[in-house]
Every structure is written in C-alpha cells, then in structure tokens.
Structure 1
Amino acid sequence: MRARREKGGEVGETVGPDELGAELGEKATLLQFSSAFCAPCRATRRVLGEVSGMVEGVAHVELDAEAHLDLVRRLNVVRTPTVLVLDAAGRVVRRAAGTPRKPDVIAAIGEAIT
C-alpha cells in the first residue's frame, strides 16, 4: 500500500480470530487500527469498507487501538490509522500507516491472495 509504511509487526506475524473478535476473511482481511478522534481513520474506514464490499472473500475489521493495547504493542502499531493486510491464515503480508488509496489496497489484497 502506498500510505507510509512502518517497521514492526513484521510480515509473517500472525493474528487470529480470537485476537480480532471477528472471523478472518475467506481470502484476506483488512485489519484497521483506529482511535476515537482520528479523522483519517474515518476516511480509511470508508476506503476499506468499499474495497471489502467489492472483493468477495475479503473482510474489513476495525479495532480501537486503545481497547486492544496488547495487540497494538505486539504488532508495533505507533499511529492511527494503521492498516494490516492479512492473508487467509491471518499472516501479515502488508502494512501501512495513514489513509490508503483504493488502488493500493486492491493491489495489497492481490498480494495476500497469491
């Protein structure tokens, strides 16, 4: 994805449904970490919701970073919004911070599916 890439929560790290409080997408999951007063988080929610609605088997899960501090620390989420693209097994294949562009999200999903 084109938004600023961050280090940490490295590719290959795995996140399961128990940690998400939601099922993983059949093909991929767009995991968004947000915070209450984050305007870019709202724009990111819209973009990821549109993409997950367009691509069958892709789920969008949004987590409040403050309410999931253990996961935030483990994945080294340092700002919101941060988006992790997970493959069907919950393995992180891409990550970015900031509001992503729709074409970049679609490309990242393609990487997760292959």
Structure 2
Amino acid sequence: MPVSTALLIAGAVMAVALAVGLIARAQDGRRRSGGAVRVSDEDLPNGRRTGITLVQFSTELCARCPQVRRLLGEIASANGIARAEIDLTRSSDLAAKYHVLQTPTTFLIDASGKVAARWGGVPDHGSITEAITTLRAASRTPRERQEQS
C-alpha cells in the first residue's frame, strides 16, 4: 500500500473519531425523555418513595459521580424532594434493567415511579430545576391549576 493511501486512511479514521467524540460530548448532560420506564420501589436503596425523586446511578470508580451527588443534593434540598443513589457496582443488573450505559446517569421520577426525565453524564442545574417545575405543574389536579390562576 502506498504511503499516501495509508496517510489518507489514517486521516479519515481520525476525522471520524473526532466527529464521534464531538457528538458524544455535545450529548453529555442533556435532558432526555424517560420514555415508558418505571423505577420499582424495590430497586431504590431506601425502599418506597413518597413523591418526586432524583435518582443517581453511579459506580465506585466514577470520577464525575461525587460532583453530581453534591449537585443533586443541593437541588433536592432546595426543591423539597427526595434523592436516592444506586450503586451499579453492587447492583449491575439494574444497569441493563434501566438502560443505563454510563455513570453518572440521573433519573427524575414521579410519585408512581415513572421516569419523567433522564440525563447521562453531568446534568445542568437549570435543566433539572426546569424538569422538576414541569413535573410539578403536570402533576397538579385541574382544581389546583384553577386555584393558582
């Protein structure tokens, strides 16, 4: 194979790797829909949830998990909601069950366990707060909405 062809192939591979890396970086921390996923009470460390809950999936070797743990703690305290952390090192079966492909991954779940939003990587404070506000507004009864107007 001529050197020019080898250099051309190497350049193409590097360009594709760079593009994939930039796309992955742009997706990190972005809010996504929860789909039809529900988190069961048995999978939460403290058992039953009582309302809106932030759930963080982490591992022992996750470098960004402590940062997200502090962020979620602050947000949970400021908004009066619960927070739970699931260590996938000890419960690796839950990664497949909830389609968790990276740590940290954060779920915002409602009182029934339905995942309202999810973030892979380090989520943005404003994005989580906005999702909590949206979830609270959606869970109000029609009477509560009318009284607030």
Instruction: Tell me if both proteins adopt one fold, taking TM over 0.5 as the criterion.
Output: yes
Q: Distance in 1 between matches of 2:37 and 2:89?
A: 20
Higher RCO (CA < 8 A, seq sep 6+): 1
> Residues 81 and 51 from structure 1, CA distance in 2 versus in 1: closer, same or farther, beyond 3 angstroms?
same
Unaligned runs of 5+ in 1: none
Q: TM-score, normalising length from structure 1?
A: 0.84
Q: Give 2:76's match in structure 1, choosing from 33, 52, 67.
A: 52
1:30-109 correspondence runs (5 A): 30-56=54-80, 58-109=81-132
Q: TM-score, normalising length from structure 2?
A: 0.66
- Superposed CA RMSD in Å reads 1.9
Report how many aligned residue pairs link the two structures. Answer: 109
Q: Deviations over 1:26-75 (max 9, x none)?
A: 2x11110011121211110011000000112x111011112122221011
Say yes or no: does 1:18 pair with 2:42: yes
The answer to whether the 8 Å contact 1:41/1:81 transfers is yes
Q: Which amino acid letter does the alignment assign opposite residue 3 of structure 1?
A: G
The answer to whether the 8 Å contact 1:3/1:97 transfers is yes
Say yes or no: does 1:3 pair with 2:33: no
Q: Distance in 2 between matches of 1:112 and 1:6?
A: 14
Runs of 4+ in 1 over 4 A off after TM superposition: none
Structure with a larger share of its residues in strand: 1
| Counterpart position of 2:14 | none
